[in-house]
Chains A and B, each alone.
Chain A
Amino acid sequence: MSTTSLAQPVKKAKKPKELNAVSPAANVIMHAVFILLCLTVLIPLWVIIVASLTPEMELIEDGYKLYAKSLTPEAYGFLFREGSIIFTAYKNTIIATLVGMALSVVSISLYAYPLSRKEFRFRRFFTFVSFFTMLFNAGVVPFYFVSRQILKIDNSIFALFLPLSFSAYWVIVMRTFYTSNVPDGVIESARIDGASEWRTFIQIVLPLAKPGLATVALFSAISIWNNFFNCMLLVDTAEHYNLQYMIYSTLSNARFLSEMATQVSSLGETIARLPTNAFRMAMAGVTMGPIILAYPFFQKYFVKGITLGAIKG
């Protein structure tokens, strides 16, 4: 707070923050803390990328470091040349993400719309039907048996996206989005003009709800891309693995092997011949790569989705 800006009402109107801003010293301390926090995010990602570009022998001799003496894209080349299993996992993940994203946008936007319409007679009942799934969850064991024994989606690509396609949470967010962003008057005038409910929804409501749809699409894509549990639970066949499970299983082997190597020195030689460490870090790199590259462009939708979810409907 400074008395000079108090005397200047014009400035105050322009930048109300300045009147009551934090002291310069506190400001510097806050910057320092935030830079430290940002480093806890950026350094780990940096480490993975550096390790994936470090020659295998250097990784084995010097271990993981923040910098490499020399860089080589060898691990990435190896990944795309011989790693047919990586290719399959990548393909599965991309297909599952795209199909699952489409399914969730369609099912969620359709389910949420009638719940936002006051004239729908069963609005309360169907709101409860979806809300109840957030309150009560049967648990992993029933889900496991129903998926495998009744729905029979195990050992197929369906296991990677079908259980994740619909979410009551996003139904509530979309419903809030419709009620706050699609004016009642617009829908009413469409109906007065004789448009059916489906036509009103597709031609009038959906175009107005695009930012909401984008948010649902992005969050569902991320949840399918990052999902590891359903693959581990329902998929036993390597040709249907997704990326996350694929890289999880190789990391567990890596740790096991390197611990063995420190105990039995002769094993060290065997491991040295495989570009295991850099190769695995390259796998992590290509798994998180698309998300990190897309993140800056879509960040505002993510923020929007989270803040919308916080509004009680």
Chain B
Amino acid sequence: MAKQKALNIRQRGSLRTDLAYLSMLLPGLAFMFCFNYLPMPAIIMAFKRYGLAPVPKDFPIQNRFIYSLFVENPWVGLQNFQFLIRTPSMGDYVRNTVGYNLIFMVVGTVVAVAIAIGVNELRNRLAAKFYHTVIFLPYFLSWIIASYVVYAFLSTNGIMNNLLVNFGGATIDWYRTPRYWPFILIFANVWKHSGYSSILYLSTLTGFDQEVYESAAIDGATKWQQIRYITIPLLLPMIVLLQILAVGRIFGSEFDMFYSLPNGSGPLAKVTTTIDVFVYNALRTGAQLGLPSAASFFQALVGFILVLTTNFIVRRFDADMALF
């Protein structure tokens, strides 16, 4: 009798069960409400001329920001976006954002897949584990620490210049020479992230059936052919999945990296400023809030559309590869 009752509860879900589960959701809902859903209506800032106004006594919500944004501030249509497009160097910022993301996607994937295959193939398992542990470490260090490393290497009396002098060369003023920085940023990004993504590939690799490789070997396939015709195709779903995620973020950038590595050096701004860095700088100088809100809105909307679109396209090819 009691057992029968319990089974019924499990199958249909009683009000009491649902209430208990709902109460478990509360802390998470509170966090998401404050930091994810509450900011969402504020995206209308992109279409308004923002300014803080005093709240009238009879307004139900006594908050200057809410009153100003939703009642007082005038709609300006697409004016903020027009100003944004006319911002000098906006083209550079978009090029930097999208360009670096594309390069990171290609170089990062190649390096991570290579590391995963290498770790998987090494004969000495202990060494393989050690290498992978070390390569994974930078993922856990902040970009600020990375910017200290870059500084120790590239400052006027840094390691690179000391080496150049030792080999009879002339020193380079790295922080004022933009042409090296695309390479420095790409190297730094791969340095920090390849350990992380190679773990994803490695976990896929170790799940493969070893017999496939063995029969290929017996049929005379070289190691290289096995990698080319077995490993890479088997890794493809994971590669595609990570690219979908990356495409969705293509108008975003790792702010910490682009902001801290160049260390605020003016001459480097042209090759290191991304949309995120521009948004932050415009927000903090505070002169024209329309610009950062428009840029921020653009990023949010385009990012959303891109994730949905790439996922849709991938699902048309192969439902298993799609994110949702």
Interface set of A (CB-CB < 8 Å, partner B): 1, 6, 16-17, 19-23, 26-27, 30-31, 33-35, 37-38, 40-42, 44-45, 47-48, 51, 60, 62-66, 103, 106-108, 110-111, 113-114, 117, 119-122, 126, 129-131, 133, 135-147, 149-151, 162-163, 165-166, 168, 171, 188, 191-192, 194, 196-198, 201, 222, 225-229, 233, 244, 247-248, 251-252, 254-255, 258-259, 262, 280-281, 284, 287-288, 291-292, 295-296, 299, 302-303, 306-307, 310, 312
Q: Which residues of A contact B297 (CB under 8 A)?
A: 139
Task: Say whether B137 contacts A244, CB under 8 Å.
Answer: no
Interface 0/1 of B188-209, CB less than 8 Å to A: 0001000010011001100000
Knowing that A19-B217, A34-B135, A247-B144 are A-B contacts, what are 18 other residue pairs whose CB atoms are under 8 Å apart, sorted by A's residue number?
A34-B122, A34-B131, A41-B138, A110-B26, A140-B292, A146-B35, A146-B65, A151-B38, A162-B35, A166-B28, A166-B32, A188-B6, A196-B20, A226-B144, A233-B280, A280-B148, A284-B144, A288-B142
A sample of 18 cross-chain residue pairs with beta-carbon separation below 8 angstroms, ordered by A number, consists of A20-B210, A22-B121, A31-B124, A35-B131, A37-B135, A63-B158, A64-B155, A64-B158, A111-B25, A119-B9, A121-B18, A138-B39, A141-B279, A145-B39, A201-B24, A225-B142, A258-B155, A288-B141
Identity of the chain B residue whose Cβ is nearest the Cβ of A188 in the assembled complex: B10
Min CB gap A161→B, angstroms: 11
Q: Which 10 A-B pairs have the closest CB atoms?
A: A63-B157, A111-B28, A149-B65, A166-B31, A139-B296, A142-B42, A142-B39, A197-B20, A114-B21, A226-B142
The reply to whether A142 and B159 form a contact with Cβ atoms under 8 Å apart is no
Residue of B nearest to A153 (CB): B34
The interface bits of chain B over 152-170 (1 if a CB of A lies within 8 angstroms of the residue's CB, else 0) are 1101111101100000000
**Least Cβ distance of A140 to chain B in Å?**
5
Majority DSSP secondary structure for residues of A touching B: helix
Q: Are B6 and A145 in touch, CB under 8 angstroms?
A: no
Among the listed B22, B118, B144, B279, which residue makes an inter-chain contact with A33, where contact means beta carbons less than 8 Å apart? B118
Contact A66 B159 (CB under 8 A): yes
